[in-house]
Structure 1
Amino acid sequence: MEVATMQNINFIKFSQLYNWSVQYLLDEQFSYNQDFPLVAIGKFLKRNKTNILIENGKTYKRVTIKTNNGGVYLRDIAKGDKIGTKKQFTIKSGQFIVSKIDARNGAFGVVTDEVDGAIITGNFWTFDVDYNLINPHYLSLITTTPEFIRFCEKSSTGTTNRHYLQQDLFLEVQIPLPPLNEADAIKQGIPTGITQEKLVAEYNQKIKEAEQAKQNAIDKEAEIETYLLNELGVKSTLSVNSKGLRFIKFKDIDDWSTKQTDTNNLLFSSKFNNKRIKEIAEINPTTSFSQLSNDLEASFIPMTNISDVDGEVKLYSLGKVSLSSGYTKFEDGDLLWARITPCMQNGKSAIVQGMKNGIGYGSTEYHRIRTNSKILTKYLHLLLRNNLVLNSAKSYFTGSSGQQRVPKSFLENLSIPMPPELVMENIINTIHQKREEIKLENKLSKTLQKQAIEDFENIIFKPKNE
């Protein structure tokens, strides 16, 4: 859309005027690369409204569109009698689909073979695509760029929580349209070599590499699990949901819960003696700031400051003793272990160290573990982030479904292998090295994802210095 500016007066060609909103005209001027012809989306998309009446007794596929170009996926398969809206529409593979509610969040995509024949409500739009003009995957990339998302935000109307994209504005927006492929580029006499097919392929290649890096990180995490259990001689096959008769020695009973067996045998070692954590560490020891000055600085560590990926404190925020009332208090060297769902299952735990004045405070949803040995604390951290322990802890949840917590007794009674300190240190160092490799893989994945988007935008949009 071309706009000429004369001091406080803006001019726009009448042929390009498709919204009478002054704010729209001033705010939504796309900086597309002028090397490519601009074509209205409505030139290659045609709304498809294939109606269907939902029948009880039959089953239907339903879809979901992930935001930010996340793709179109099968949401579920439901029986007709469980579907309230009886008048819906069907979609087919290759169509372009839009969520008119989440368009401002980049909910666009191409219908896949997996969801071919699925049903959608009127909150979705489906379009037939003119494949002679556009690659629908190229359109998906265009519609999830920041500039296009801003357009969708401005062109969505409704209440705060239910903003609907206006179809006429969507179809009238012009986007740059490079040739479909090399053959079309030659026909059109465009020597740049930039085609929709090439742009999509380059984007997909980087995303594929990003996904591979992410998978490498997941595989290395699984290697850590296997390595740790093998080194400790743990061959636990006990399921927290196992059925049948189970036995426990009377001297090992701490309470009358049938779950108690798990904490005794979960990490049973064939190499080393086992001890319960309460025998080697303090769980939630008393930590008081009452004798400290209110003006004394301390570190503030809310749950969000702990990485569930790396098991480390991402940020030591600055606080004061005077602000610590009502929070959990801790000291340098303490191990913080999230006790509440879903933070516990996600592995949110970290050893705090280097805090301001050696003290800190944070979420009331931490269990704190304190030992007299840095090596032992690090060793406990490894064990308590192990999936075998995290999955077992879920069966000990107390409280309502939305606020379930692992009780202190689970940690106290968890029996763990106790190898010599030198063995602990070797395990810690080996796993630390593996986790550094995982960090590099995750960093590479994020870099490639960002690069894929930036490379596409650098071609489609004008350089920032223009």
Structure 2
Amino acid sequence: MKVKLGDVIQLNPSEKLPKGERARKIAMDNVDTYAREISGFDFDEYKGGTKFRNEDTLLARITPCLENGKTAYVNILEKDEVAFGSTEYFVLRANKELINPLYLYYLSVSSDFRTVAIKSMTGTSGRQRVQKEAILNYEFDLPSLKEQERIVSRIGCLDDKKALNDRINDNLDLLLTTIFENKINNKNFTKA
């Protein structure tokens, strides 16, 4: 069935987070390029910015972040926790009766969606932003929820494997650094 994205999501949904309250902050630097997983966070005093929950998709709306693939799926928060981040995010929240939240994430990183979003950018050079209307009016074929879940389970397995491989590589980097530092600090060099 052909739908507009605005018919199946909330864009920048309203959330309560009082100014001055300490909360989890996900900065643009914590959203890697072409990676589903959020790479980190800080706790900071909320002064402003977009607010979101688990199962929301964060979409960078400014150049060059969008072109570089900065889009992430929020899955690191506690139950009912509200976090915040850059004002340069669009927050996409799925209407779960119509679209699977992970399907929405994968749709938002698709080349067709990204092409439409990038073409809608306006503003001065270096500070261009995606237009809200382009996101809401984006048309696509929406499969049934059952089909969405089948697609997400297949693609999700690959993303899960990528995330695991990334953690393994991070651990190997740490191990190599630790071994190197031990050798340097102990000065146990063997002569060749």
Q: TM-score, with normalisation over the residues of structure 1?
A: 0.35
Gaps of 5+ in 1: 1-272
Cα shift at 1:419: 0.9
Counterpart residue number, 1:276: 4
Equivalence for 1:398 = 122
2:165 and 2:83 mapped to 1: Cα distance?
32
Which letter does structure 1 place at the counterpart of 2:23?
A
Match of 1:307 among 19, 27, 32: 32
Q: 1:464 to 1:387 in 2, by over 3 A?
A: farther
1:351 aligns with 2:76: no
SS of the aligned residue for 1:388 comes to helix
1:289 is aligned, of 5, 17, 29, to 17
Question: Which of 46, 56, 80 is the matching residue for 1:334?
Answer: 56
How has the CA–CA distance of structure 1 residues 443 and 355 changed in structure 2, closer, same or farther, with 3 Å as cutoff?
closer
Work out the CA distance in 1 between the residues paired with 2:39 and 2:82.
17
Could you tell me which runs of 5 or more consecutive residues in structure 2 were left unpaired when the two chains were aligned. none
| Structure 2 contact 36–159 (Cα < 8 Å) conserved | no
Alignment of 1:156-167 (within 5 A): none
Please, which of 88, 94, 109 is the counterpart of residue 365 of structure 1?
A: 88
Matched residue type, 2:157: Q
Structure of larger gyration radius: 1
- Per-residue deviation, 1:463: 7.6
Task: Determine if contact 1:316/1:355 at 8 Å carries over to the other structure.
Answer: no
Partner amino acid for 1:367? F
Q: 2:132 — aligned with what?
A: 408
Matches within 5 A, 1:19-168: none
Q: 1:291-327: CA deviations, max 9, x gaps?
A: x8x44x42111111112232221113223xxx22232
Structure 2 Cα separation of the partners of residues 368 and 308 of structure 1 = 17
Distance in structure 2 (CA, Å) of the matches to 1:327 and 1:444: 33
Length, aligned pairs only: 179
Q: State how far apart, in whole Å, the 2-side matches of 1:362 and 1:403 are.
A: 18
> 1:436 offset after TM fit, Å?
3.3
Alignment of 1:417-428 (within 5 A): 417-428=141-152
**Is the contact between residue 311 and residue 347 of structure 1 (CA under 8 Å) also seen in structure 2?**
no
Query: Could you state the TM-score of these two structures normalised by the residue count of structure 2?
Result: 0.78
Tell whether 2:163 aligns with 1:435: no
2:42 matches 1:317: yes
Identity of aligned residues (%): 29
- Per-residue deviation, residues 19-76 of structure 1 (Å, max 9, x unmatched): xxxxxxxxxxxxxxxxxxxxxxxxxxxxxxxxxxxxxxxxxxxxxxxxxxxxxxxxxx
Q: Tell me how far 1:337 sits from its aligned partner.
A: 0.8
C-alpha contact (below 8 Å) 2:64/2:126 kept by paired residues: no
Amino acid at match of 1:369: L
Give the secondary structure class of the aligned counterpart of 2:156.
Answer: helix
